[in-house]
Structure 1
Amino acid sequence: MSVGPRLHRRSALALATAGAVAVTGCDDGSRPTPLATPTTDPDVALVDRVLRQLALAQRVAEANGDQDLAALHRTHIEALDGTPATGTVPLKSAPGGLAGAEKRLQKQLERAALAAASGALARLLASMSAAVSQRLA
C-alpha cells in the first residue's frame, strides 16, 4: 500500500542529521558556532510501537492458520520500513483469540493515526486500520 514516494525512516533521519551538520560552521571565522542539536522525529517512537503491534498480530494470525491476514500484516510492516516477524509464534489461546487480537490492533492503529504528527503517516496508519476493520467485517 503506497502513499506516494516514500523516504525511509532511516534515510530521513540521516538526511536530517546531514542537514544539521551542513548548516553549522563559523559566522565570521572568529568563533565556532555550536553544533545544532538534531530534532528527533516524534513519529519514530510511534512507528516502532506500531511495528511491534503488527509483528504480534502477524504471529497470532500465523498461529491460527490465517495466512491471508498474516500477509496483510507483513505488507503493513514493510510499508512502515520494518521487517516482518519470524520465529516462534504465540499460543493460539491468546485472550479473545484471533478476532479479539485483530479488534485490538484495529483500535491501536486508529489511535496511532490520530497521534501521528506527519499527515502522510496518519493517512497510512488510518488505511491500515481500515484494512484490518474490513477483514473483521
Structure 2
Amino acid sequence: MPDRPLLSRRTSLALPGLVALGATAACDVDDLRPPQDDPTPSAAASASPTGAPGGDTAVVEEVVAALDAVLAQLLAARSVPAQRAAVVPLLRAHRRHVEALDATSRATPSPTPVSVEQVRAQELALRGSLVDSAGRAESGALARLLASMAASVDQHLAVLPTGGAR
C-alpha cells in the first residue's frame, strides 16, 4: 500500500473553514425553532384570539386591510383573460397570507379592469407595508410571518411580466 496522507492538501485547507461554519451555524439553533415552539411565556399569555399578542392586533388588522385592497385589484386583474395566468399565483398567495393571519378576506373585485402595471405598483406598496409592519410587530413569530410574506411578494414580483393588456 502506498503511503498517502489521511487528508488531501485541499481537504486540510478547507477543513478549518468548514469547522468554523458549523460552529457559527450551531450558535443560532434556537432562532430556527418554529414559532409555536417558542418557550417565552409572555407570548402565549398575552395572545389574542387571532394568535397575535395584544399590541399586535392593530398590526394584523392593518395588514389584513392592505391584503384585502390588493386582493380586490387582483380579482379585477384576473377578469382580463390576457393577464389571468400572471395574477392568479399572487391571488392564491395573498389568500394564504390572510389565512395565516387567522383572518377572513372581505375583498370584492374592483369594478374597473386593472393592468399588470397597476398590480405591480400595488404589490410594491404591499411589500413595503409588510416590511414596516414586521418591524412594528411585538411578537417575533408575527414579525417572521410578515417578513416571509414580504419575501413572497418579492418572489412573485420577480416573475410578474412587465407590461400587459388593460
Question: Structure 1: how far apart are the matches of 2:111 and 2:141?
Answer: 32
Contact 2:123–2:153 (Cα < 8 Å) also in 1: yes
Distance 1:59 1:72 in 2: 14
Q: Is the 8 A contact 1:116 1:122 kept in 2?
A: yes
**Gapped runs of 5+ residues in structure 2?**
1-33, 38-43, 79-86, 159-166
Give the counterpart letter for 1:10 in structure 2: P
Q: Counterpart in 2 of 1:17?
A: none
What is the TM-score with the length of structure 2 in the denominator?
0.57
Distance 1:61 1:93, change over 3 A: closer
TM-score, normalization by structure 1: 0.68
1:79 aligns with 2:100: yes
Q: Residue 47 of structure 1 is aligned with which of 44, 60, 69?
A: 60
Tell me the C-alpha RMSD between the 2 structures.
2.6
Counterpart mapping for 1:17-28 below 5 A: none
Letter matched to residue 123 of structure 2? E
Mapped contact 1:60–1:90 kept (Cα < 8 A): no
Whole-Å separation in 2 of the counterparts to 1:106 and 1:128: 8
What's the counterpart of residue 19 of structure 1? none
Q: Is the 8 A contact 1:109 1:125 kept in 2?
A: yes
Equivalent in the alignment of 1:133? 154
Rounded to whole Å, the distance in 1 between the matches of 2:69 and 2:50 is: 26
Q: Does 1:10 align with 2:49?
A: yes
- Distance in 1 (alpha carbons) for counterparts of 2:50 and 2:156: 32
Identity fraction in percent: 34
How far 1:62 moved relative to its partner? 1.6
Contact 1:74 1:84 in 2 (8 A): yes
Establish whether residue 119 from structure 1 lines up as the match of residue 158 from structure 2: no
Q: Deviations over 1:19-78 (max 9, x none)?
A: xxxxxxxxxxxxxxxxxxxxx811000100000001111111121112221111100000
The structure with the largest helix share of the pair is 2
1:73/1:9 CA distance change after superposition, 3 Å: farther
CA distance in 2, matches of 1:80, 1:12: 8
Aligned residues: 108
2:115 maps to 1:69: no
- Determine the C-alpha separation between the residues in 2 that align with 1:12 and 1:104: 25
